[in-house]
Structure formats: structure tokens, C-alpha cells
A and B are shown apart, each in its own frame.
Chain A
Amino acid sequence: MISESKPIFVKIDKYKEILEIVEVINKKVTGVKQLLTEFEELRTKEEEELSNWEKNLEDITRKVESIKEELSSEQ
């Protein structure tokens, strides 16, 4: 097992290239985080729209019911 107390030194041939890739990865991770925030906002907006939709449907049902009552009430 690798001892935690003793560091080991290994040769990395393309050290700079690795650092560059790590940099690109960091940028991409930031980009993905932004996309996820955007996704979350869209989801909230969708939920709001669906909630409004439901509310409007209830309004329509109520109004149609009152129209029906008005037309079928005792003359």
C-alpha cells in the first residue's frame, strides 16, 4: 500500500499538456454549471406556466358552469 506519510515522485512527460487539459476541464465544468442553472430556471418557469394553466382551466370550468346554470334555470 502507498504510505500516506511518504510522497512518491513520478515522471510526467507531458506535464504542460496535462495542465492545459485540466484548464479546459475547469472551463467546461463551469459551462456545465451555467447550463444546469439555465435548466433549473426553465424548469421553474415551466412549473409556473403549468400552474397558471391549471388555474385558468378552473376559471373556465367555473364560468361554463355558470353559463350552463343560467341557460338551464327555471324559466
Chain B
Amino acid sequence: MAEEHFEQENFYVCVKAPKTLRRSILESSKDTLFILKQVYTIRQIRDAKHQVMAEVDDELKELKILIQKIDDLMPKYNKDELKKLIPDVSSKRKQFLKKEKAEAKVKEEHRAKQEPASEVDKLTMALDAIQKKLQNL
């Protein structure tokens, strides 16, 4: 019976509270438009976020270059000079370093055989190198 009603083009419904219904429809429309407006606001916020991220990225790249520059400007000593400066290098330490170097070489070769290094891999490698330098201090 109900299906027959829906098939008809003109269907009359008794609206008990027309004002409330009208209010609900208008408020729904208002909320929908408000959501659409919010979509634009969120899009703007996300654009701003991306911009800030790009700026941070640029600044960090520049920082990396500057730190590298400082590293280049710092004095470099060869082994003989270091021996004069640091005479108490123990043989155990040397052995340890030699072993570590060999392991690192094997790892490096293994890594090189794999796919080309991504930006993250490069950063990881740079971090490892700094970590090693710190350990050798």
C-alpha cells in the first residue's frame, strides 16, 4: 500500500508542526553551508601548515650546510699529529676501532649494493657517522 503511494507523483503529507519542520530544514541548510565553509578554512590551515613545514625544511638544510662549514673550518690532524697530541692510545682501542671500521665497511658495501639511498637513508648515514665520531672522542 505504502509503495503505491510513493509511486504517485503527487503525494500529500500532513505536517503537524510546519514551523518546526521549516526550522529544521533551514538549520540543516545553514549547518551544511557552515561545513562547506569549514572545509575551506581547514584547507587554508593545511596550506599554511605545508608552508611552515617547507620553511622548516629549508632552514634545516641551511643549518646542515652551516654546520658542515664549521666542520670544514675546524682543524684536521693526521695520525702522526694526533699521536703527538694523544700519546696514550691503547692497542685495545686500536683493535676495537679496526674491527669497527671493518664492520662498517661490510655494512656500507651491503648498503651500496641495495637500492640508491633516499633522503632518510642519507640522514641516517650522516647520523651514524657523527655517532661514530662522538664515540671515538
Interface residues of A (CB under 8 A from B): 1-3, 8, 10-14, 17-18, 21-22, 24-25, 28-29, 31-32, 35-36, 38-39, 42-43, 45-46, 49-50, 52-53, 56-57, 59-60, 63-64, 66-67, 70-71, 73, 75
Contact = CB atoms under 8 A, between A and B. Distances in A.
Q: Chain A interface secondary structure, helix, strand, loop or mixed?
A: helix
Kindly name the residue among A42, A67, A71 whose own CB sees the greatest number of chain B CB atoms within 10 A: A42
Contact of B56 (A22, A32, A43, A70): A32
Contact of B45 (A2, A12, A45, A70): A45
Q: Chain B interface secondary structure, helix, strand, loop or mixed?
A: helix
Contacts of A63: 24-25, 27-28, 31
Contacts of A39: 49, 52-53, 56
A53 B13 contact: no
B85 A8 contact: yes
B84 to A, nearest CB: 10
A35 B38 contact: no
A31 B45 CA distance: 20
A24 B64 CA distance: 12
A37 B59 CA distance: 15
A29 B52 contact: no
Contacts of B48: 42
